[in-house]
Amino acid sequence: MSEEAPAKKELAAVKGTKDILPAEVGAWQAAEAAVRGTFELYGYRELRAPVLEYTELFEKGTGATSDVVVKEMYTFIDKGGRSVTLRPEYTPSVARAIIEHRLDLQPAPLRFYYMGPMFRYDKPQKGRYRQFHQIDVEVFGEKDPAIDAEIVEMAHALLSRLGVGETKTLVNSVGCEACRPGYHALLRAAAGAKRAVLCPDCQRKIETNPLRIFDCKLEPCREAAASFPRITDHLCPECRDHFDRFRACLDLYGIPFEVDPTLVRGLDYYTKTAFEIVTTKLGSQNAICGGGRYDDMMKEFGGPDICAIGFAMGMERLLAVADITVDRGKFLYIAHLGDEARRAAMTLARQFRRAGIECLLEYKVRGLKAHLGRASKLEASWVLIVGDDELKAGRFPLKEMASGTQTVGTPEDLIRTVNGDA
């Protein structure tokens, strides 16, 4: 814990967290607007849960064998002596909200999306933060594989809106309660026979969760896993049919995909469909969207027996591959000359803002030349000049900075001019 010692001389953000400064926030806002604009077209609505939950929610929900719970939860005791955790993922909170507010009594399916910070207490490394941001989509109460394809198509709609190209879609089925135990037994036997070449972590997984051996990035484990039986060859008729119909819907949407039987998803409550969208835009292959079905999760929470499917995208990674150009936007600068003019500038600014025009008012007393210099430095689109003579006349010069054109008019005239220009 010595690395955590707060022996800092200067103020600094908490380790693993990061400020999003005004210069970067435009890209975030553009991405968030694209998320809302895209998902709402499909009838999805935002649900905002607290960032803090009782620890047991995630212990139960994320699964006792999940690495997230074992190693990475940001857990602490609050002043009331309760163990609380900053959410490491969104789904358990949503499941809790559905149960708590009996949203399951509303007509199914429920289509939700969420955006916000998640917290994992792992070793901070380049490009990974303890507070990171995620976009999540979830549908509750729809068994039809068409919905699986709908969210994949919707993810692609968002990615194309954000200019993320060079994508590839990987799909798999991880089976269900009926077919998974039989497959696990086969997998255990195959993995057991290769025990000697597997890493200690994977050796443990032979007993606890052999599917997750496919997640191991170590070469000997990957090599061994390549010869293991594939889940797609051992699906029960229901899972097989679901998988076939899911892929037929992707064909209908014209979404090319590859079946990847090693795609198992990180969390334990997945059933049937699993998918991932990867991009090669940053050179190596990066997953930007991962999702799947988890039909048994709500039951395991002690909630109603409703099925669920969803996906998550990491905001930081998405922004790294998105093609977003952020424009500062046009704005008006008011050059006021004298006390009376300064007061008038304040009410004029309000009038322009009410008309939807961004108006920057600085209160420092300056001469006209200094005002124009300042406006040009700030890259104002227009300057409105307010002096004693203009006030008497009720008509003001408006200078368009790029062209140098000057128009004179009443505030109403100038609002029309600016809004016509913008």
> For binding to Zn ion (CB under 5 A), which residues are involved?
175-176, 178-179, 199, 202, 216, 218, 221, 236, 239
Least distance CB 240 / Zn ion (angstroms): 8
Taking the least distance from each CB to Zn ion, the nearer of 8 and 217 is: 217
Taking the least distance from each CB to Zn ion, the nearer of 30 and 221 is: 221
Least distance CB 177 / Zn ion (angstroms): 7
Helix (H, G, I), strand (E, B) or coil at 146: helix
DSSP string, 66-85: -HHHHH--EEEE-TTS-EEE
Could you tell me which residues come within 8 angstroms of residue 400 by beta carbon, excluding any fewer than 6 positions away? 381, 382, 406, 407, 421
Least distance CB 179 / Zn ion (angstroms): 3
Taking the least distance from each CB to Zn ion, the nearer of 120 and 205 is: 205
Taking the least distance from each CB to Zn ion, the nearer of 31 and 176 is: 176
Taking the least distance from each CB to Zn ion, the nearer of 264 and 335 is: 264
**What angle is formed at CA 304 by the lines to CA 301 and CA 310, rounded to 5 degrees?**
70
Least distance CB 37 / Zn ion (angstroms): 37
Least distance CB 203 / Zn ion (angstroms): 8
Rounded distance between C-alpha atoms, residue 223 and residue 221, angstroms: 5
Least distance CB 66 / Zn ion (angstroms): 16
Q: Residue 269 carries which side chain, given as an amino acid letter?
A: Y
The answer to whether the bond into 109 is cis (omega within 30° of 0) is yes
Taking the least distance from each CB to Zn ion, the nearer of 230 and 366 is: 230
Taking the least distance from each CB to Zn ion, the nearer of 235 and 322 is: 235
Least distance CB 84 / Zn ion (angstroms): 33
Tokens matching residue 261: 């039987």
Taking the least distance from each CB to Zn ion, the nearer of 219 and 323 is: 219
Q: In 213-310, where does DSSP find H-type helix?
A: 219-225, 237-253, 297-300
Least distance CB 182 / Zn ion (angstroms): 9
Q: How far is CA 168 from CA 122, 159, 190, 218, 263, in A?
A: 29, 12, 30, 23, 13
Phi-psi region of 16 (alpha: psi -120 to 50; beta: other; left: phi over 0): left
Helix (H, G, I), strand (E, B) or coil at 129: coil
Q: In 197-338, where does DSSP find H-type helix?
A: 200-208, 219-225, 237-253, 297-300, 315-321
C-beta neighbour count of 202 within 10 angstroms: 23
Q: Residue 95 carries which side chain, given as an amino acid letter?
A: A
